[in-house]
A and B are shown apart, each in its own frame.
Chain A
Amino acid sequence: MINNAFDVKEERKSLRQLARMYKVTKLDPAFQRMGGVNNGSGWSITHSNEYLQDLYEGFVSNTVILLLVADCLKYAEEQNDKESIVYYQDVSDEGYEYVSVDGNNSTSTIHEFVHGHPELKINGRLLEDLPPSEMDDWLSDEKLYVAILRRISIKDACDQFRKVNKQTKLNDQEHRQARWSALSMFIRNTANS
């Protein structure tokens, strides 16, 4: 599904690693939906709990897609793509290492569960009520695929976001805004100022 021209590196990451990566991953409202456990366009608590249960029972095989900021910045500089240079430099200055393209709801759910979200449960139990050693093993051993894109412009990243989210039903306005243009930027910035 992802074009190899973007220099995709696929890795398997443990749930604990994913929770750590989530903290340094930017969810960019410029083109992303405001998904995740604590945002209104993400999964409900019920969805997150269903996902955790499936993950625990081994029925989950989704791939998380991220942009690696440092490499993408280098690529933008090679290409003299000024728009992308500014974008990736800003993201880097904000302290992020990755930008989320897909899988934000799942990584957000994993991150919140690992940090003891009061409503996220497996088998009806919070993390603190589950056997610690079993949980420790599970969080270290259970892995998800992560596709890391290393050579991609911000405009192509937006297109990629729209493609991978075709199946997950962005609402009409999310779909319109997932377009890199001065118009979409003006509308977003004005509405949220």
Chain B
Amino acid sequence: MIRDMFKNLLFSGARLDQRSHEEMVAQLTLKLHKVGSALKKPELDSFYENNFNTTPETQKRVKEILTATAKMSKAGFTDKGTTFSKSRFSKGQLHNLWDVIQIIEHQNDYKIQNYKGMFNWFLEKDIEFANKSKKVTEEDRDELSYIYWTKTYNNPTFYRKTQYIFEQAFLQGVQELIAAGIVKKKRTHQDSFTWQDKQELYIKQGKVDRKDLPIAALELYANPALLEAGHVVSVKNGGEAIVPNGELQRKSDNRSQGSRDLQPHFDYQQSETSQ
């Protein structure tokens, strides 16, 4: 899947045999392993010479970024016979795309839902930035030219600048991207109820669910879980994982609720969520 992505977006089969794509993966790994590192030959040589391995966290991120890129590449054109024009895409642009995925998924906790839409958004911004750069004079190139920064993608001074303008563009447009179903906010551990919260909900609900069916304490200990703590106001609508916004539910009830809000049912919900 990842090798195919390189073949679809950038390289011929011969370049893959020459390990050009592996060099790009090494650069991405180095970029995440040592934040702010240059990505040129001396830094890559030293990365290999001085590290027997990299951290599992870095490996996980590298794989996530490459997998997301592979999904974008696959989703790009659905018509048979239409392919991505490799000659118009560069290594620098692919590095920029990787930075964008990192910014969205790892730094701002959004999840890409529509890979084609996200790829299109990236290319749209890339064209806009490149177009603006055409007016930049040689003198101002280092400070203002996206085209130049992209060409010198292995220099941290310049890849930080592309990261900055893409992050600004993303944060400005994120509500539109959410509305279009292209990204959604990730649920984090802060959006989930703790074991202590579940015990408190069990007591506050009077040991029954909203259908007045009794909940046995033993059910709380089931593995896999039979009960889940759901949100009255959903995470999507800004609901927090706090007891006044929680409810112990049978798993099937919680799942069928999806991301819809619940009408408050128990006293602790009515009194405390309305405060």
**Which A residues are closer than 8 A to B by beta carbons?**
33-34, 39-42, 171-174, 176-177, 179, 181-184, 186-188, 190-193
Bound Cα distance from A193 to B1, whole angstroms: 6
Chain B, range 37-54, C-beta contacts under 8 Å to A: 41, 44-45, 47-48, 51-54
What residue in chain A is nearest B19 (Cβ atoms)? A173
Q: Return chain B residues, CB-CB under 8 Å to A172.
A: 23, 41, 44-45
B1-30 vs A, Cβ < 8 Å mask (1 yes, 0 no) = 111001000001111111111111110010
Instruction: Beyond A34-B17, A173-B23, A186-B59, list 11 extra A-B contacts (CB 8 Å).
Output: A33-B17, A40-B17, A40-B18, A41-B18, A42-B17, A174-B19, A183-B54, A184-B48, A187-B29, A191-B2, A193-B3
Q: Are A190 and B17 in contact (CB under 8 A)?
A: no
Which of A176, A187, A190 is most buried by chain B, counting CB atoms within 10 A of its CB? A187
| A121, chain B: closest CB distance, angstroms | 22
| A178, chain B: closest CB distance, angstroms | 10
| A43, chain B: closest CB distance, angstroms | 12
| A175, chain B: closest CB distance, angstroms | 8
Would A41 and B29 be within 8 Å (CB), given that A177-B19, A188-B22 are in contact?
A: no
Q: Return chain A residues, CB-CB under 8 Å to B51.
A: 181, 183
Q: Are B25 and A190 in contact (CB under 8 A)?
A: yes
**Which B residues are closer than 8 A to A by beta carbons?**
1-3, 6, 12-26, 29, 41, 44-45, 47-48, 51-54, 59, 62-63, 66
Closest 5 CB pairs of A and B: A40-B14, A40-B17, A34-B17, A182-B53, A173-B23
Bound Cα distance from A33 to B63, whole angstroms: 24
Q: Are A187 and B14 in contact (CB under 8 A)?
A: no
Q: Return chain A residues, CB-CB under 8 Å to B1.
A: 193
Q: Are A173 and B20 in contact (CB under 8 A)?
A: yes
Helix, strand, loop or mixed for chain B's interface? helix
Q: Are B52 and A182 in contact (CB under 8 A)?
A: yes
Q: Return chain B residues, CB-CB under 8 Å to A34.
A: 17-19
| B25, chain A: closest CB distance, angstroms | 4
| B24, chain A: closest CB distance, angstroms | 8
| A141, chain B: closest CB distance, angstroms | 34
Q: Return chain A residues, CB-CB under 8 Å to B16.
A: 40
Bound Cα distance from A193 to B12, whole angstroms: 17
Q: Are B17 and A39 in contact (CB under 8 A)?
A: yes
Bound Cα distance from A135 to B143, whole angstroms: 67
Q: Are B53 and A186 in contact (CB under 8 A)?
A: yes
| A76, chain B: closest CB distance, angstroms | 20
Would A179 and B22 be within 8 Å (CB), given that A40-B14, A191-B2 are in contact?
A: no
Would A186 and B54 be within 8 Å (CB), given that A40-B14, A41-B14 are in contact?
A: yes
What residue in chain B is nearest A181 (Cβ atoms)? B52
Q: Are A181 and B48 in contact (CB under 8 A)?
A: yes
Bound Cα distance from A190 to B30, whole angstroms: 14
Q: Return chain A residues, CB-CB under 8 Å to B29.
A: 183, 186-187
Would A193 and B54 be within 8 Å (CB), given that A40-B14, A186-B29 are in contact?
A: no
Bound Cα distance from A144 to B54, whole angstroms: 43
What residue in chain B is nearest A39 (Cβ atoms)? B17
Cβ-defined partner of A41 (8 Å) among B19, B23, B59: B19
Q: Return chain B residues, CB-CB under 8 Å to A179.
A: 48
What residue in chain A is nearest B17 (Cβ atoms)? A40
Q: Are A181 and B53 in contact (CB under 8 A)?
A: yes
Would A176 and B21 be within 8 Å (CB), given that A183-B54, A186-B29, A193-B2 are in contact?
A: no
What residue in chain A is nearest B48 (Cβ atoms)? A176
Cβ-defined partner of A173 (8 Å) among B2, B22, B62: B22
| B22, chain A: closest CB distance, angstroms | 4
Cβ-defined partner of B53 (8 Å) among A40, A177, A183, A193: A183
Q: Are B13 and A40 in contact (CB under 8 A)?
A: yes
Which of B16, B19, B41, B66 is most buried by chain A, counting CB atoms within 10 A of its CB? B19
Q: Return chain B residues, CB-CB under 8 Å to A182.
A: 52-53
Which of B13, B25, B54, B59 is most buried by chain A, counting CB atoms within 10 A of its CB? B25
| B133, chain A: closest CB distance, angstroms | 29
